[in-house]
């Protein structure tokens, strides 16, 4: 299967087979795909929680309007945006650039860091929250495409109580906020959604050329 065939194969899985687990090598592949995702300034202003613990997932299911994917999937990916210490994240990223690329003269990078910090500081708190949450969606898309590549099913979801997730997982104390989630695993044979023809706008309607 080529990429387009795989993207046609995938769908937002409504029912997972709880007996099937994503093997470790495929899980590592998904992690690497997320790690290589694009992000604004390359900052990756988020952390990704991967929840397997069944007791925790039972609690999270209650905070997700009892949607069965939360507990039936192999793994639950929770994309969390950082809410505090933005300057420190910038400094850490610049240091990572210096260490990775073995840069000796970092004067230009320090000026770049100050520019990023200034841009972030000039945002309102709502703009800053929206910006960091948007980064998690970029990472989520990398996960979805990687899942399709390995024919692993996923269901991106916004239907959950973020405050409840933050409380259950202790995210507030870590300066994190649950932004978007994706149960990952393998579709149940009983999931009728897999039989539906994919519905998307035609190319001539979706795109404009100039």
Per-residue pLDDT tens over the stretch 51-87: 999 999 999 999 999 999 999 999 999 999 999 999 9
| % the chain with pLDDT above 70 | 100
Q: Supply the pLDDT for residue 106.
A: 82
Q: Supply the pLDDT for residue 1.
A: 81
Q: Are 121 and 133 in contact (CB under 8 A)?
A: no
Take residue 172 and report the two structure tokens written for it: 């507030």
Q: Supply the pLDDT for residue 104.
A: 87
Q: Are 185 and 16 in contact (CB under 8 A)?
A: yes
Among 1, 18, 14, 33, CA closest to 145 = 33
Average pLDDT, stretch 161-176? 98
d(CA 66, CA 164): 13
Average pLDDT, stretch 8-16? 98
Provide the whole-model pTM. Answer: 0.96
Q: Supply the pLDDT for residue 101.
A: 93
Q: Supply the pLDDT for residue 60.
A: 98
Domains (ranges, CATH) in the chain? 3-87+124-206 (3.40.109.10)
Does residue 183 register a pLDDT over 90? yes
End-to-end CA distance of the chain: 33
For the segment 87-104, what is each residue's pLDDT rounded down to a tens digit?
999 999 999 999 999 998
């Amino acid at each position: 299967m080529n990429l387009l065939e795989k993207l046609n194969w995938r769908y937002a899985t409504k029912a997972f087979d709880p007996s099937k687990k994503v093997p470790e090598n495929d899980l590592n592949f998904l992690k690497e795909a997320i790690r290589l995702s694009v992000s604004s300034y390359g900052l990756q202003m988020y952390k990704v929680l991967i929840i397997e613990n069944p007791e925790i997932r039972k609690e999270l299911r209650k905070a997700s309007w009892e949607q069965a994917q939360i507990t039936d999937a192999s793994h639950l990916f929770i994309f969390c945006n950082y809410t505090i210490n933005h300057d420190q994240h910038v400094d850490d990223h610049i240091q990572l650039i210096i260490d990775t690329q073995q840069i000796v003269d970092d004067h230009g990078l320090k000026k770049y860091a100050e520019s990023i910090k200034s841009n972030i500081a000039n945002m309102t708190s709502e703009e800053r929250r929206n910006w960091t949450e948007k980064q998690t969606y970029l990472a989520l898309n990398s996960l979805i495409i990687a899942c399709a590549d390995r024919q692993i099913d996923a269901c991106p979801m916004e239907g959950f109580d973020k405050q409840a997730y933050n409380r259950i997982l202790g995210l507030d104390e870590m300066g994190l906020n649950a932004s978007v989630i994706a149960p990952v695993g393998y579709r149940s044979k009983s999931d009728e959604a897999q039989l539906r023809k994919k519905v998307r706008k035609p190319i001539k309607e979706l795109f404009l050329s100039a």
